[in-house]
Amino acid sequence: MSVTPAPEPTAAVLRMEAVRKSFGASPVLRDVDLEVAPHTVTVLIGASGSGKSTLLRCANLLEEVDDGAIWLEGEEITDPRADADAVRRRIGVVFQAYNLFPHLTVLQNITLAPRRVHGLSRPRAEAEARELLERLGLGEKADEYPDRLSGGQQQRAAIVRALAVRPRLLLLDEITAALDPELVGEVLGLVREVKEGGMTMVIATHEMAFAREVADQVCFLDAGVVLERGTPEEVFGAPRQERTRRFLRRIV
Ligand code: ADP
Ligand code: MG
């Protein structure tokens, strides 16, 4: 790591500085800088292959960066001495699909990490999980197996599971991409509620109307570069780069 591990003065929940990542000879992230303030939502947009998932995977240490540095709440997590498991315990992640264990009920899925990783007793973990499910509109699904739920309900349960460990940061990677269109709304509705609860999130999505509504910050990735960033009004309303304009014309 060539970047000096200076003490981190910012209050950002997540900060990336000059992050580079290649797969073989292909650069996938090229000098990515990112700053995510507490209780804000950052939305990553960009064509398929632009590096959104890789960025999220680097933030969660599922991928090792080649260069640059990443801080979580001021702690440099790309420091070789950082405890990757401890870092991941502070970050919730939901992917496009296959988030729940099929052989466990919703409740068992949700209480797994709180019990095993965080050492909560079963009654306490279950009480908290039921309360969270109730609050987020899935109370009656607690004892069902995932295959008895619609795709939208499964993704909502996956979000509840990610929240059950009280993460400091939630990463959502195209969580509606595999859903039938009529199920997208209920999942995005839950994300909206999670935002209202103050959760700090980084969201990769192709749902532009949703991005515009929920984002505090929008980053447009183009071939591994954050080509444009700003408020939704700036990026969607008055994009400065021709490539951003072209992307938005194509997708909206
Ligand atoms: P996005 O999420 O924006 O679609 P990704 O981060 O998934 O983009 O991928 C960016 C680029 O990196 C793509 O060209 C993809 O093929 C490549 N890539 C991603 N993961 C791997 C991997 N594990 N091995 C090799 N190439 C990868
Ligand atoms: Mg992706």
User: What is the structure's pLDDT at 216?
Assistant: 97
How many other CB atoms are found less than 10 A from the CB of residue 147? 8
Q: Which ligand is nearest to the CA of 21?
A: 1
Predicted confidence (pLDDT) per residue in 49-66, tens digit: 999 999 999 999 999 999
Paired residues of 43 in beta bridges: 203, 218
What is the band of 117 on the pLDDT scale with cuts at 50, 70, 90? confident
What's the pLDDT tens digit per position in 142-158? 999 999 999 999 999 99
The best mutation among 20, 21, 28 to test binding of ligand 1, ranked by most ligand atoms within 8 Å of the C-beta, falls on 28
Q: Is the pLDDT of residue 75 over 60?
A: yes
Indicate whether residue 54 lines ligand 1 (CB < 6 A). Answer: yes
- Kindly report, residue by residue over 158-168, the tens digit of the pLDDT: 999 999 999 99
Per-residue confidence (pLDDT) for residue 242, from 0 to 100: 96
Distance CA 99, CA 122 (A): 22
192 φ/ψ sector (left φ>0, alpha ψ -120 to 50, else beta): alpha
Q: Whole-angstrom Cα distance, residue 101 to residue 32?
A: 33
CA of 219 to the centre of ligand 2 (A): 14
- The answer on pLDDT for 177 being more than 70 is yes
Ligand 1 atom with minimal separation from the 173 CA: 2
**Is 71 a residue whose pLDDT tops 90?**
yes
Looking at all shown ligands, the one closest to residue 49's CA atom is 1
Give the residues across from 153 on adjacent strands: none
Query: Is residue 46 very low, low, confident or very high in pLDDT (cuts 50, 70, 90)?
Result: very high
pTM (2 decimals)? 0.93
Can you tell me the mean pLDDT for 73-78? Answer: 96
**Tens-digit pLDDT profile for residues 10-39:** 589 999 999 999 999 999 999 999 999 999
The pLDDT of residue 112 is above 80: yes
**Residues shown for the chain:** 252
Ligand nearest to C-alpha 220: 1
For tokens 């960033």, the residue is 229
**What is the distance in A from the centroid of ligand 2 to the CA of 115?**
30
Closest CA to ligand 1's atom 15: 49
| Closest ligand 1 atom, residue 57 Cα | 6
Q: How confident is the model at residue 136 (pLDDT cuts 50, 70, 90)?
A: confident
C-alpha 130: how far from chain center: 23
- State if residue 78 touches ligand 1 by the CB under 6 angstroms criterion: no
State the Cα–Cα distance between residues 40 and 15, nearest whole angstrom.
Answer: 13
Of the candidates 221, 226, 250, 248, the one whose C-alpha atom is nearest the C-alpha of residue 237 is: 248
pLDDT of 42 above 60: yes
Percent of the chain residues topping a pLDDT of 90: 88
Average confidence score pLDDT of the chain: 93
**pLDDT reading at 3 higher than 60:** no
Nearest CA to ligand 1 atom 1: 49
Pinpoint the alpha helices (H) of 67-171.
84-89, 106-116, 122-135, 151-163
Q: What is the ipTM of this complex?
A: 0.98
Helices (H), the chain: 52-59, 84-89, 106-116, 122-135, 151-163, 181-196, 208-214, 232, 242-251
Residue 243: C-alpha distances to residues 67, 105, 181, 196, 221 (Å): 26, 45, 27, 32, 10
Residue 1 has pLDDT above 80, yes or no: no
Cα Rg, the chain, nearest whole Å:
18
Ligand 1 pocket check for 205: Cβ under 6 Å:
no
Query: Which residues are bridge partners to 128 per DSSP?
Result: none
The pLDDT score that the predictor gives to residue 9 is 54
Q: φ, ψ for residue 177 (rounded to 5)?
A: -65, -30
What is the reported pLDDT for 68? Answer: 98
